[in-house]
Structure formats: structure tokens, C-alpha cells
Amino acid sequence: MQICHRDLKLENTLLDGSTAPRVKICDFGYSKSSVLHSQPKSTVGTPAYIAPEVLSKKEYDGKIADVWSCGVTLYVMLVGAYPFEDPDDPKNFRKTIGRILTVHYSIPDYVRVSMDCKHLLSRIFVENPGKRISIPEIKSHPWFLKNLPMELKEGGNWESHDVNNPSQSLEEVQSIIQEAMKTTEVPKGGELFLGGSMDLDDDLDGNEDLEDVESSGDFVCPL
């Protein structure tokens, strides 16, 4: 699929109810197709997960930016914290963006992470997207392949499973879509700011106090 998601994060991943749960990605509201659409250049997504090039005001490869977000997701599952938030000042939005741009992160000593996993993270968290590890390279990385069932490796037949037997009927899918399209109550006061949209350029260039911005909330900044 020639699609970049542009808002990959734990909150947008789901597990189905099968014995061996499968991961499903949801919320394609910011996604773009490299076949149907132009190269993305808008700053959208969730600050804690966003790649440096997305902040550049230039066109970028959305699929490679998604790899960065996958790295943040992996880090959060391993450490239980966001890699680029200042541990002493986690709600300081300006510091989070600064640490993303300089790729300033570390793995705490109290967290046991294998050398292979550390190496994979170091290949994902690369400022230059042209030098960042790609999805095909990740799929051949030693950490990714460790304990991976044979049928899920390259050349396996997992892709043919359930193609003609979807887990949900068309009626169920349509019902879910209709429910999602219902108007929801708009939060009051500052609650909207945390999960709603914000102009990143104005916030970073201005003199506003960004001490208490929640960097794990969404923002949208069309450039």
C-alpha cells in the first residue's frame, strides 16, 4: 500500500480478539496516498511522535516519517515514557520539539533493552530521513527477526489468510462508520487545546509560555 499514515502512535493501534492478536492501525484522517496525492508538506500529527523533517516546512517522505513514529511507539512500550520529552520538564512543548530536532534521547539504565533493539532504535532515530532505516530493512533486522514465526517471515503465506473471510461484515463496518461520524460534545475550556489543533509555527516563533502544553496531543499545522 502506497500510503503514509502521518499519525502513528499507540492510541491509533488496536489488537483484535484472536488467540494470537493481530495489530490493526486506525484513524487515517491525516493519511496520504503517494499515488493519488502530492508529497506531504503539512505539519500534522502528534508532537511526541513527530519526525524532524515534518517540522521543516518542506516536502517530506511520509512513509519514512512513519518509521520514526514507529520507533517512538516501540520506545514507549519499552520504557513507558516518550523518548524526546525532557524527563525533568515533560510538558514543556518547546523542549520536546528541540530534542526531536537534535535527536536527543536516551534509554534509562534501569530499563533492560537488548543491544539489537538499541541498534534498531538508533537506526530509526536518525535526523536525515535519507539515512534512516526503511521498512524493508527493519524486516531483515536481527531484533525484528528474533522469535518471529516462520510464516511471518519474507516468503511466508500469512498474507493469504482470511482475505476472503473478513472478521467483520459489511453491515458491521458501515455501522461503525456511522457511529464514528456522529457529532460529539466539544470539550470546554483548555481541554480542547490538549487534543485539538494548534498552529505550531506561531507557538514556536512567538513569545507564548509553552511550559504546560501536552506534547502527546494532536496538532495540525498546514504549511
Instruction: Determine the Cα–Cα distance for residues 65 and 68; give it in Å rounded to an integer.
Output: 5
Which of 100, 73, 69, 52 has the alpha carbon at shortest distance from 5?
A: 69
Q: Name the CA radius of gyration of the chain, rounded.
A: 19
Closest CA to 120 of 152, 153, 74, 80: 74
Q: Annotated active-site positions, please?
A: 7
Cβ atoms of 46 and 86 closer than 8 Å: no
Report how far residue 203's alpha carbon sits from residue 189's, in angstroms, rounded to the nearest whole number: 18
Q: Which residues pair with 92 in a beta bridge?
A: none
CB 4 within 8 Å of CB 25: no
Residue 7, strand partner residues: none
